[in-house]
Copies of this chain bind each other. A is one copy, B any other.
Amino acid sequence: MSLSFAHITLNDLASMRSRHRAQLINALSGIKGVHLVGTRAADGTENLAIFNSVLHIGADPAALGILFRPLSVQRDTYDNIKETGEFTLNLVSTEILDAAHQTSAKYESGQSEFSATGLTPWYSADHGAPYVNQSPIKVGLRFEEEHTMAINGTVLLVGRVQEVWVPEGAVGEDGWLKLDDWNIVSVAGLDAYHQGTLIERKGYAQP
């Protein structure tokens, strides 16, 4: 190899401090999507949480997944989805990045991350979970299935898309949403937020 490379072995990983290892391993999945997940408990309490683990599952039927950390501690978002069946995914733009990250703070039980961060809940007539009013691209989903990873107890929860809200005129002729027009943010590792600039759309590759 032309660059000089460092070899990180299993022994190296095992001897790292936990937070150091988490930073390193989280970077390996690249600069990735970040979403606000909106839910409501059965008693109506609203919850909003930031996730960097949303996965495209399929387009027909349209479905997206979220990986949850192990359920050994209280997971309001997960519990609300299982109780009500509904959740929203809201893309994060630079305009709401500070508030979006702030939802990851540990607020007291019963305090909504909406009121704590200044983000505003918005409800569609057709969906029970709260959207983030300030988010430019919003998706309403219904719980579909879940899978627990044997390796560490994380849970992949899959939702079926019920509706999508996008800015008027944002969907291109071929269906593409030009995300950088809406200043959509990505994240690398645990807390390094990036703004993406389009390099090129490539289309189908031919041999």
Residues of A within 8 A of B (CB): 1, 3-10, 13, 16-35, 52-64, 67, 89, 91, 94, 97, 101-108, 116, 122, 124, 126, 133, 136-137, 139, 144-145, 147, 149-152, 154, 156, 158, 160-172, 174-180, 184-186, 188-189, 191-207
Interchain CB contact under 8 A, B60 and A26: no
Interchain CB contact under 8 A, B67 and A57: yes
Chain B residues with Cβ below 8 Å from A186 are: 30-32, 186, 194, 196
Q: Which residue of B lies closest to A138 (CB)?
A: B5
Chain B residues with Cβ below 8 Å from A53 are: 55-56
Interchain CB contact under 8 A, A57 and B27: no
The smallest C-beta distance from A198 to any residue of chain B, in angstroms, reads 6
Interchain CB contact under 8 A, A105 and B207: yes
A168 to B166 alpha-carbon distance, docked (Å): 43
Q: Which residue of B lies closest to A186 (CB)?
A: B31
Given the known interface contacts A62-B21, A196-B188, A197-B195, the answer about A6 and B163 at a Cβ–Cβ threshold of 8 Å is no
Chain B residues with Cβ below 8 Å from A4 are: 167-168
Interchain CB contact under 8 A, A6 and B174: no
A150 to B188 alpha-carbon distance, docked (Å): 30
Interchain CB contact under 8 A, B30 and A176: no
Which of the listed residues A56, A170, A199, A203 has the most CB atoms from chain B within 10 Å of its own CB?
A56
Contact of A6 among B94, B106, B165, B188 (CB under 8 A): B165
Q: Which residue of B lies closest to A197 (CB)?
A: B195
Interchain CB contact under 8 A, B205 and A102: yes
A207 to B203 alpha-carbon distance, docked (Å): 45
| 13 pairs of residues in contact across A and B, judged by CB atoms under 8 Å | A3-B168, A5-B168, A18-B59, A21-B175, A23-B176, A23-B177, A28-B161, A28-B177, A32-B32, A57-B152, A191-B202, A193-B198, A193-B201
